[in-house]
Amino acid sequence: MSVQVKVPETIRLHRASRVLELGYADGEHYSLSCEYLRVYSPSAEVRGHGAGQETLQTGKRLVTIERIETVGNYALQFHFSDGHDSGIYSWEYLHELCREQHKRWADYLARLALAGASREPAGPVLIARQ
């Protein structure tokens, strides 16, 4: 039995509120902040190359998505305002981020607190425009 990969039917970026909305054919609808997508980037820079090699992302509260590109028929690539653009978000991973948003966000905030780190940018925020 094969598992059907859920592909969003609608994808809307709200730049002012820094939110990406995903809507699915079955009526599921999610709003993901740009910050959440950035700190859970599937890139090696964020996730490392194995368990325990993750890099805690700090100072990303004001990050935005500048551009979205499709990658074949299986993923999206986000170009963030802090210059990060190496994560490829498969449809499966995006849906996982949607379903686990509350748990993952709470985990992220706990890891920040444990590290004595902040969501706030450390210095002046530079917004990359292309």
How does pLDDT run across 98-118, given as a tens digit for each residue?
A: 999 999 999 999 999 999 999
What does the pLDDT read at residue 54?
Answer: 87
Cα separations in angstroms, 3 against 6, 28, 79, 92, 125: 9, 18, 29, 10, 42
Tell me the per-residue pLDDT of 54-79, one tens digit each, with 9 for 90 and over: 899 999 999 999 999 999 999 999 99
What's the mean per-residue pLDDT of the chain?
91
CATH top class, domain 10-115: alpha beta
Q: Global pTM?
A: 0.89
Greatest C-alpha distance within the chain? 52
